[in-house]
């Protein structure tokens, strides 16, 4: 088991390795690793890592200053980030400099990255149990590093949801604080539908649990007095497969 976990960790680390072409000034026959060069390499790495995510990046803290002289040869850079790092906020990066494929420097960069992107923000307090309406939320550009939890980036995924944990006004809306409103409640009488291309059968049943649209719940068929699994498809309506 330990060997299996080690292989996974190594695989994740390899997935987050990026090799960059040489960037730096020349001095004497070898390159000089400047702060500007390191910043350009890290920026290129971050842009590659967050490609197609719709974020605007800015390095707020780099954790490197001064200049380091490198021996003559072909220079390449490699960055290794923590496997669970999203590409913004604070992180400790390994910055490896190779000259002619040999490690010349292995630096640790403590970085802080701002990532601006559109997220869903509450325009008013969202209290427990309320259904979110279009006027309750708005899209705003915020720093993802400052947004806590599983924030929402699609307003369509928020409208119509029920608040399960209250949220303050002007705060990012968290997806784990929302839930689908139940269309069926435990003990409620429901219509059971079984259909295919040839025919449609309906029966009356009693829900054995709460369920939102798409949830699978147990329903008692009142005629057969038998519990069967059924999918919630509407208000008081469930469907069974056959």
Q: What is the pLDDT of residues 80-121, one digit of tens each?
A: 999 989 889 999 999 999 999 899 999 999 999 999 999 999
Q: Candidates 3.90.1210.10, 3.20.20.70, 2.30.30.830, 3.40.309.10; correct CATH number of 116-179?
A: 3.90.1210.10
Q: What is the pLDDT of residues 170-222, one digit of tens each?
A: 999 999 999 988 889 998 999 999 888 778 888 898 999 898 888 899 999 88
Domain residue ranges in the chain: 2-113, 116-179, 182-239
Nearest to 209 by CA among 201, 220, 193: 220
Query: Averaged over 5-34, what is the pLDDT?
Result: 47
The CATH number assigned to the domain with range 182-239 reads 2.30.30.760
111 secondary structure, DSSP code: E
Collect contacts of 207-212 with beta carbons under 8 A, ≥24 apart: 207/238, 210/182, 210/184, 210/185, 210/186, 211/182, 211/183, 211/184, 211/238, 212/179, 212/180, 212/181, 212/182, 212/183
Query: What are the helix and strand counts (H, E) for the chain?
Result: 2, 18
What is the CATH architecture of 2-113?
A: Roll (3.10)
The Cα–Cα gap between 217 and 210 comes to 7
- Give the contacts of 156 (CB within 8 A, at least 6 positions apart): none
Q: Which residues of 133-165 are buried (b: 16+ CB within 10 A; e: fewer)?
A: eeebbeeeebbbbebeeebbbebeebeebbbee
pTM of this structure: 0.65
């Amino acid at each position: 088991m330990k060997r299996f976990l080690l292989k996974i960790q190594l695989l994740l680390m390899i997935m987050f390795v990026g090799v960059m072409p040489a960037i730096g000034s020349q001095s004497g026959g070898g390159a000089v690793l400047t702060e500007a060069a390191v910043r350009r390499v890290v920026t290129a790495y971050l842009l590659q890592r967050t490609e197609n995510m719709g974020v605007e990046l800015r390095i707020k803290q780099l954790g490197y200053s001064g200049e380091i002289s490198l021996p003559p040869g072909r220079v390449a850079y490699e960055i290794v980030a923590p496997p669970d790092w999203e590409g913004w906020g604070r992180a400790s990066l390994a910055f490896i400099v190779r000259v002619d494929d040999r490690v010349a420097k292995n630096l640790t960069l403590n970085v802080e990255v701002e990532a601006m992107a559109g997220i869903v923000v509450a325009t008013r307090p969202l209290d427990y149990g309320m259904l979110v309406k279009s006027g309750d939320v708005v899209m705003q550009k915020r720093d993802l590093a400052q947004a806590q939890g599983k924030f929402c980036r699609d307003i369509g995924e928020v409208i119509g949801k029920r608040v399960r944990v209250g949220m303050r006004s002007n705060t990012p809306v968290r997806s784990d604080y929302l839930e689908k409103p139940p269309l069926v409640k435990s003990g409620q009488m429901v219509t059971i539908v079984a259909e295919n291309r040839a025919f449609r059968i309906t029966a009356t049943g009693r829900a054995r649990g709460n369920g939102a649209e798409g949830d699978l719940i147990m329903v008692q068929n009142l005629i057969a007095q038998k519990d069967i699994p059924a999918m919630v498809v509407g208000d008081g309506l469930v469907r069974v497969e056959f």
